[in-house]
Structure 1
Amino acid sequence: MGKPATAERSARMRAWLMGSAALSLLAAAQATAQEQTPPEPAPAEEEEVVISGIRETLRTSIDVKKRETAIVDALSTDEIGDLPALSVGEAIQTITGATTHREKGGASEIALRGLGPFLSNATFNGRDATNGSGDRSVNFNQFPSELINNIKIYKTQQADLVEGGVAGTIDIGTLRPLDFGKMRVQGEIKANYSPYQDKVIGSSAWGWRGTLSYVDQYELGGLGELGIAIGVQRNSTNNPEETVAGSSTWTACNATVIAAGNCTPITAAQANAGTPYFLAPNSMAWRQISETDQRDAVFGAIQWKFSDRVELNIDGQYSDRTFVENRRDLNISEMRNGLTNVVYDENGVIQKMNGLSAIESTASNLARSEEYLGGGANLRWQASDRLTLALDGSYSRTIRTEIERQVRLRTDPFDMNGNRNFFSTAPFASSNMRVPYTYEVKSGNYAPTITFDPRFDPNNHALFWDDARPRRDESERRNEIWGVRLDADYKLDGFISNIAIGGRWAEQTFRDFDVRNEITVNPPGPPGAGREDARINLLCRTQFPQTGFLEQARGNTITSWATFDPLCLMREYTGSEDPGRPAEMRSSANRDVTEQTLAGYVMAEYAGDLGAMPVRGNFGVRVVNTKVTSIGLRSAFDVVPAPGGAVRLQPTGDFETVTLKGETTRVLPSINAIFELQPNRLLLRAAAYRAMSRPAPSALGAGRSFTLDTSGTTIEDAIAEIRANGSPALKPLMSWNGDLALEYYPNRDSLFSATLYFKEFSGGFMLVQNDEQFTIGGQQVTVPVIQTANSPDKSQLWGVEITLANRFSWLPKPLDGFGGKLSYNYADTNFENEDLLLGEIFNPATGVTTPRIVPPAGLSGFSKHVVSAQLYYQLGGFSIQGIYNYRSNYYQDFVGGNTQLRYVRDNETFDLRASYDVNRNLSLRFEATNILDAPKITDMPVQGSIRQYHYYGPRYFIGARVRL
């Protein structure tokens, strides 16, 4: 966290935020008693014409922003399938202040105003949505944009949002068939082409996606009107990837100690006393991925108006996405071993070194399935001319399962035929199997340069046969939300025009498990051509599956290596391509979290005049109570003697169930005011509110993760580390917020807006060390456990966002078909996140703080600069649009909570979309994504220390849409 703010300054800031908006409210109330001066009539709108396509989408989005009371940015269209993107995530990143994190070449989680996904609230038709990651963000890449009609981002909060978020609320909306008002049958087919996939041997670079939707309305006589809408989509494609990456754990090595084995970790005291150190990963891997990806989605809605006073809306969404990856890895598995001649900079970033490591060829087959099911029913009854009641029930569920079958083959002092390798002169029984290499990162390069001893050939299959390790990993994340909401709305006469009151009950559960079935095959005796492992090596060899591997990564020197078929290896070593789960599914790291929320709100809408200036808005308060129950397991251990006087800990298989609980109640006031400086043209908006963002469900776990040390001579030494995988006692991150926005609407196609915003955070996060009791060898042993807790510090964030949209109607024909939108967001903060291994740790029992070794990061997902630019041209039935997005570097948290700091470097994308309406029924379409061919590059645990280079390549789509 940042430097603590004084209580006096915090109080002044809250008083200013709430007081300034309250003054505007009181002024407007007093103005209602004054003699009214009629406002000047609004300037005449331009001649109304029927518009469609890109221009219609931007115009509708401007209309939504203008009408809303809160500060809102939107992407909206009245038509089906007209959002300018392939997925909801890519659509959202065109909205002012919104940016995305990209996975598999597509947009996934969203950050608002430089604030990470965990600070936003995501809803589907106003209801909370689940995901498969374990946090509260939504994988927007899961949903096809063709079946979505509007996306709203509430930048400021109002009481009827019930919960909301510190950064804002993202609401995805689907079509209501009666409001659509016409029958429509629409089908669209697209072929997609990936040039990168052409480099993968034996695979097709082509895929496809097809969408079909139907909307209609029916008169039911005395039963009113019924509207139905249904849309289905199948997306079958591939998302090829290639990467070079360091491990997720890095060590600060003492540069003054030269160790024959692993480097010696530096202590925090040594580092802060000035002892030099360098930052080394545990391992590094080059990975080639061949993938197939299929997504099926079904969205449906029923709108039934029984009468003018009673309406029922039912909607449902289903998405099932499955991808299968075949991975081929070359691993330098001991990046901390035998390090000499290390050259590093003032931040400990290695620039060059020599090392000794076993080299591994690892073949994997990874299958992931993510299924989303959501929906709800809303019954709305206009009980009288003034009173309206609404009852809403909802359900959302995401299940993500992942199975990886992997076999590792390692180098040995001998090749598989019994020939001694150049790098070993020791007898066969020796474990000396390490290959000399040089590691270097040159300025301007994207990837490290690796130079092996020239006598070692990584493409020689015969070198990879030892220590075979078949491994099967399976994980499941199950996130489920049930919710019920009741709202009452009562119209009044006078300054207060409306009173709304309501409440919501919800229960969210998050459960996960990660299990491993693993054996290590290391048969005794010298290798030879007649051995079983030699037979398997020959049987399961494959050609390196790609040409031009990592040719875009400046500095890369590894372009191929010996590869094997993972399922062949698994079958030959274990007798089955899938050996199944282990007998014991329980683990002390599993999570079982239940979160119950009870929230209520009251909100008043007002409208009046301040002199001749209309003023409107709302004010209200939310009260949110949250109860968390988290169930965890504690494993007992036996003490087992090991060679050399060491002791080894072995789980007994007995578990003790531990139930931990937490509860919070938060009061969230809010005020929104709109001053119509020029009616329908120039608006001044002011907002002040308190907001909260709850920790991710996965961060509320009661489990423990154990790292054991096989070289320890005492029980305490045998436990290298115990870390909590969450804390049910974590409280929401709270903030006081103020927004001031000026919006100018010269015409329906144009907008200029500038917003200044400020946030003061409290209840951030810090690392603490607590003593806990564990049963080891039948005795109670006290062991320190590190976990995340709330910090008492305060920090601030301020920012400005600017939007400019215009159709260039002032240009001569045919140039008046041009138009565009430009948005920019700048933010700055002193919020701090510590590295879990190398950061500052506080011990509440002793009051001692262990100083940090590496500097802290800011907010997860925080980018100082976010730019989105769109330029379109529309003439008759032809339209073309270019979309550019830029995001400056940001810290990306690992799901489940902060571990080691990971930074994503600046990135930019450019997408292109074009369409031609042959007639009113047929439209031809072309789309291209990631035209700039931009990779994703990450650093760890400090900026400038390259951890990963990740490349996807561009994709192209061509298709046709038919409307009837």
Structure 2
Amino acid sequence: MKYLNQHHQSLPVQPKALSRVIHQLLLGSLVCLPLHSVAQTAEEQNVEVISVTGSYSKSLEKAVDLKQSNIGFSDSIVATDIADFPEQNLAEALQRMPGVTIERNKGLGDKVNVRSLPTEFTHVSINDLATASGSGGRDVEFDIFASEIIQSVTVQKSPTAADEEGGIAGSVQISTARPFDFPGRKLIVSAEGAHNSISEEVDPKFSFLASDTFGDWGALVSFAKAQRTNRTDSNSGINFRPSGRFLEQRGSDSKLARADQAVAVLERDTGIVINDRFDTDVTNRIVFLDKAGDRVYLNDQDKWGATLSLQYKPDNNFSLTFDGMLGGYDNTEDEYDAAAYSASSISTFEQIHSYDNTTLAADGITVLTDVSYAATQHEFLSKERINNTDYSQFSLTMDWMINGFDIRALAGYSGAEKTTDYANLKHVAYAPSRTRYTANGGETIKSDNPASIDMYDAADSYLFEAYETELEEVSDDKYALQLDVKKALQLEFMPALTSVQFGARYTDKSKERNFGSAKIQGPAAGDSSWVNSRKLSDSELQWVTDIVPGGAYKAKDLNWMQVSNAYARDTFRYDGFAVPFNVADYYRVDEEVLALYAMANFDFTLAGKPVVLNAGVRAVDTSVLSFGYHQIQNEDGSNGYTPAPISKEGSYNDILPSLNMTVELLDGVLWRTAASETLMRPALTDIAYKRSVSWNEFRFKDGNPDLKPTMAKQWETGLEWYLENGGILAASYFWKDIEGVVREALTGVVKDVEKRNANGTLDGYYDFDVYQPVNADGSYKVTGLELIAQFPLTILHDALDGFGVNANYTKLDNTLTGASSLGIDTPPEGLADSTYNLTFYYENDSFDARLSYNYKDKYVERIERSMYPVYRDAYGQLDIAIGYQLTDNVKLSLKGINMTDEETTGYTMDPAFPTMNEYSGRRISLGLRADF
């Protein structure tokens, strides 16, 4: 009866919180409330307040307690678990939770996957507010959040009707600290320096938290600031390009001659006979290397976050809490790229040295693996991306018990402002060359053509093409109002019904985007005198390994000279230059959601076994208004298109039932079952009225305001065995039936579109396909198994006192397919078949050590040209954390990330065709933490 006794104590919302942290952590997951109103003092419950600074094993025990108390499937981590691993941001702090993995970008975790499903299938909230981050979709960019200001995280995998809809994979519910999380006065200060093995830079990080209570009042403030300089070396950018690039040329005699040459070379060197150059079912299955590049990235980040929490509790029946969260994330990424674009518009095949028609024979694909080209576009690109994100979140929460009712009200705002400033200095040399696959990437070398060049050592051959600039501003705002009412019941005619709860939530979300681009081609506005006259050698050149800190280029034995971004910005941006916003690229999407829910909680016995059951239903009404611009034919009859304003409304209604049940089979052994329907709304960028163009692919991409949400029916059942000393063994099986998955589809054709070359000359008039995101027909099933083993090893033998293991494994089986227009069998983007996390730890009064390995199976990163799936290879990373308690209040820590210096790799369809070989290095940090 241990579980039910604990659970009964939490059901009748009583004077004060069981723990203010549990009050935060459960965030809608308890049987009776969506978060919130669990309420007894720690003293009355004889339960320790969750303040586990410096003890990893204690944090695990508290997380297990939260899992056991929840009627649904969930997992949690608390402050010490978040703080004591060597994570670089909040995403990396979450990756050790059961079923949670992350997506990495140049060595940094930036997005979270739950149960291996794509990141946009996950709903994220902070302090019960869905979080804005300025991204283009509904996914949250976790790299903007400092993990030091986070108090706890719960991943809710089976929703109740009280939980906000939006997560098919699950809901990540984040809480910041509040003053009554700590008994009395609390001060925590930490500082560390971290060293990256490639950049050889040392980055500082600092954080503090101060909290105190004053009778009925409490105040807490926290602040964290971190800098990060990371270098990534990458042989990448290698992808398939259909041979139609050369075969389907039309128009001038020179274009037809190049097409005829491609036909002749294919027949001569491979035996492939092309009868119809425009038969895409044939040409799309003969592919070559579009581009091979060597790249050095330098990523500089400056991140800060702060929280403020004020609580007022005049008596046991009323509390008012204000939570505020502010932060900033400034990220400058320099990319220095030496690349060869084999598919240039004036090129064609000269000689096919080797090809592979066996590896991908099942899909009828022949890969031209080693080819000499007539006029490769060799490029030196100095790219600069400056991203600035400011986010803020404020909420006011009231808990009030009156006349037997527990009332909770919340009003909140979450917003993000993101600015992206992009520049690309481009120098080009057209010459014959040879591009081919290597064991772990691709390379471009001189061909047998006498006019061929050594692309890395021919600065006089490269001519200035443009200094391209882009500016994007995104504003993401969300307002929310919520009211929850709960009433405990003792009905003689229905004693099993212990409480009912109902509530409403209104949200108003708006995302607005401005975008502009401009090309500088001369020393003044309208001046193009630099085009095809200014050479690369006319600029100040440096070895790329001198421009960025660190040693030699790690992906190859290679070095080259380029223009630094600092020099480019100072030299090419003339006085008075500014990037204008383009009206045709503007969009705004407003979304309003009204949700009503009701649910009931039951407590009874079945076959002599105690049962707790929660059943409810949530009704959701969503309305969308999308503003943007559409391209219409010029009214004067001239060729070309003019942007015209357009708007459209959309709406949908849904009923989402849920059922969660827990049966205590034996003392400490629970059988848990859950069933529900949930939804995931389409990305606002997909809804928005906008049109983007890919000139090389002769394609427009439009938004679709008529998109409906992706729906899922899901259930899960599992057994959980709660061991002594905070251990747990658990296994669960889950099933999801997903329909309305958003796919990109051909929805129209625009005739006679004017296409111009990079130098402004007319290329011709072509028919452009129009693609839009649509809700795919049919449904798809995802099933999976999740295993958890967490326990101190002293259970096995007393000699292992202090040692422990925390492990979890998730395995998926699915019928979901990606959107390949060639019908290639592929899972959807982001879905990995298996993941696991394994942590061994040792801990005593003065010393602790953790060794953690995280593994994520291969997954589809993107589907190139909507045809060829590009995989991110399976990846495993070893991290360490060692701590020594210098005094009762001061702890020294040594942490390491990616200790085996794993590289990130990928391939198109098969490992025989690699797309990248990327190194981000290992990261070692040394820090001090003081707790008073």
TM norm. shorter chain > 0.5: yes
Is the 1:157–1:164 contact (alpha carbons within 8 Å) kept by the matching residues of 2? no
Count of residue pairs brought into register by the alignment:
830
Q: Identify the residue that residue 537 of structure 1 maps to in structure 2.
A: 537
Secondary structure at the aligned position of 1:151 is classed as strand
Shift in Å at residue 640 of structure 1? Answer: 12
Q: Identify the residue that residue 409 of structure 1 maps to in structure 2.
A: 427
Q: Identify the residue that residue 478 of structure 1 maps to in structure 2.
A: 475
Find the aligned partners of 1:689 and 1:316 in 2 and give their Cα distance: 33
1:635 matched to 2:631? The reply is yes
Secondary structure at the aligned position of 2:143 is classed as helix
1:235 to 226, 249, 260: 226
- In the TM superposition, what whole-angstrom CA distance separates every residue of 1:636-684 from its partner, at most 9, and x where no partner exists? 455999xxxxxx9545xx53111122111111101111010013x1000
Secondary structure at the aligned position of 1:734 is classed as strand
Shift in Å at residue 152 of structure 1? Answer: 0.5
Is the 1:880–1:914 contact (alpha carbons within 8 Å) kept by the matching residues of 2? yes
- Aligned positions of 1:561-600 closer than 5 A: 561-576=560-575, 579-582=577-580, 584-587=581-584, 589-600=585-596
Q: Which amino acid aligns with 2:220?
A: A
Q: Identify the residue that residue 354 of structure 1 maps to in structure 2.
A: 372
Is the 1:773–1:782 contact (alpha carbons within 8 Å) kept by the matching residues of 2? yes
Secondary structure at the aligned position of 1:580 is classed as coil
Find the aligned partners of 1:84 and 1:329 in 2 and give their Cα distance: 31
Change (3 A) 1:610 1:574: closer
- In the TM superposition, what whole-angstrom CA distance separates every residue of 1:39-77 from its partner, at most 9, and x where no partner exists? xxxxxx9xx999951101111111111110101111124
Shift in Å at residue 785 of structure 1? Answer: 2.3
Secondary structure at the aligned position of 2:690 is classed as strand
- In the TM superposition, what whole-angstrom CA distance separates every residue of 1:827-880 from its partner, at most 9, and x where no partner exists? 111112213xxx1xxxxxxxxxxxxx2515323321110110010001221000
Change (3 A) 1:573 1:114: closer
Find the aligned partners of 1:462 and 1:52 in 2 and give their Cα distance: 57
Q: Identify the residue that residue 616 of structure 2 maps to in structure 1.
A: 620
Q: Which moved more, 1:254-263 or 1:56-65?
A: 254-263
Secondary structure at the aligned position of 2:671 is classed as strand
Q: Which moved more, 1:246-255 or 1:157-166?
A: 246-255
Secondary structure at the aligned position of 1:65 is classed as helix
Q: Which amino acid aligns with 2:336?
A: R
Q: Identify the residue that residue 6 of structure 1 maps to in structure 2.
A: none
Shift in Å at residue 888 of structure 1? Answer: 0.6
Secondary structure at the aligned position of 2:355 is classed as strand
Q: Percent identity?
A: 19
Q: Identify the residue that residue 41 of structure 2 maps to in structure 1.
A: none
Secondary structure at the aligned position of 1:118 is classed as helix
Secondary structure at the aligned position of 1:702 is classed as coil
Q: Which amino acid aligns with 1:591?
A: Y
Shift in Å at residue 510 of structure 1? Answer: 1.5
Change (3 A) 1:321 1:249: farther
1:466 matched to 2:463? The reply is yes
Q: Identify the residue that residue 492 of structure 1 maps to in structure 2.
A: 489
1:447 to 441, 446, 468: 441
Is the 2:146–2:303 contact (alpha carbons within 8 Å) kept by the matching residues of 1? no
- In the TM superposition, what whole-angstrom CA distance separates every residue of 1:514-568 from its partner, at most 9, and x where no partner exists? 3211044699xxxx99x9836x834422232259988654xx46x2222113343
Find the aligned partners of 1:325 and 1:132 in 2 and give their Cα distance: 18
Q: Identify the residue that residue 26 of structure 2 maps to in structure 1.
A: none
Shift in Å at residue 784 of structure 1? Answer: 5.4
Is the 2:342–2:435 contact (alpha carbons within 8 Å) kept by the matching residues of 1? no
Q: Which moved more, 1:188-197 or 1:344-353?
A: 344-353
- In the TM superposition, what whole-angstrom CA distance separates every residue of 1:706-754 from its partner, at most 9, and x where no partner exists? 3458xxxxxxxxx933221x21111111111110110001213210000
2:137 to 135, 138, 154: 135
Find the aligned partners of 2:768 and 2:796 in 1 and give their Cα distance: 74
- In the TM superposition, what whole-angstrom CA distance separates every residue of 1:303-336 from its partner, at most 9, and x where no partner exists? 2112111101111111211122232111212336
Shift in Å at residue 253 of structure 1? Answer: 4.2
Change (3 A) 1:352 1:473: same
Is the 1:481–1:506 contact (alpha carbons within 8 Å) kept by the matching residues of 2? yes
Is the 1:253–1:277 contact (alpha carbons within 8 Å) kept by the matching residues of 2? no
Find the aligned partners of 2:787 and 2:846 in 1 and give their Cα distance: 31
- Aligned positions of 1:835-854 closer than 5 A: 835=820, 839=821, 853=822
Is the 1:854–1:942 contact (alpha carbons within 8 Å) kept by the matching residues of 2? no
- Aligned positions of 1:518-529 closer than 5 A: 518-520=519-521
Q: Which amino acid aligns with 2:68?
A: K
Change (3 A) 1:882 1:898: farther
1:383 matched to 2:402? The reply is yes
Shift in Å at residue 400 of structure 1? Answer: 1.9
Shift in Å at residue 438 of structure 1? Answer: 3.5
1:863 to 829, 832, 837: 832
Is the 1:253–1:280 contact (alpha carbons within 8 Å) kept by the matching residues of 2? no
- Aligned positions of 1:687-766 closer than 5 A: 687-708=674-695, 720-724=698-702, 726-766=703-743
Q: Which amino acid aligns with 1:238?
A: T
Is the 2:317–2:401 contact (alpha carbons within 8 Å) kept by the matching residues of 1? yes
Q: Identify the residue that residue 355 of structure 2 maps to in structure 1.
A: 343
Q: Identify the residue that residue 844 of structure 2 maps to in structure 1.
A: 875
Find the aligned partners of 1:197 and 1:826 in 2 and give their Cα distance: 36
1:284 matched to 2:285? The reply is no
Secondary structure at the aligned position of 1:698 is classed as helix
1:683 matched to 2:670? The reply is yes
Q: Which amino acid aligns with 2:559?
A: S
Is the 1:96–1:868 contact (alpha carbons within 8 Å) kept by the matching residues of 2? yes
Find the aligned partners of 2:916 and 2:542 in 1 and give their Cα distance: 26
- Aligned positions of 1:275-314 closer than 5 A: 277-314=285-322
Q: Which amino acid aligns with 1:732?
A: P
Q: Identify the residue that residue 20 of structure 1 maps to in structure 2.
A: none
Is the 1:77–1:150 contact (alpha carbons within 8 Å) kept by the matching residues of 2? yes
Shift in Å at residue 374 of structure 1? Answer: 1.3
- TM-score if structure 1 supplies the norm length? 0.80
- In the TM superposition, what whole-angstrom CA distance separates every residue of 1:467-502 from its partner, at most 9, and x where no partner exists? 431111112222211111111111112211111101
Secondary structure at the aligned position of 2:162 is classed as helix
Change (3 A) 1:140 1:49: closer
Q: Identify the residue that residue 857 of structure 2 maps to in structure 1.
A: 888
Q: Which amino acid aligns with 1:595?
A: E
Shift in Å at residue 782 of structure 1? Answer: 10
Change (3 A) 1:668 1:876: same
Is the 2:382–2:425 contact (alpha carbons within 8 Å) kept by the matching residues of 1? yes
1:803 to 784, 788, 793: 788
Q: Identify the residue that residue 504 of structure 2 maps to in structure 1.
A: 503
Change (3 A) 1:331 1:78: closer
Q: Which amino acid aligns with 2:691?
A: R
Change (3 A) 1:436 1:255: closer
- TM-score if structure 2 supplies the norm length? 0.83
- Over aligned residue pairs, what C-alpha RMSD do you find? 3.4
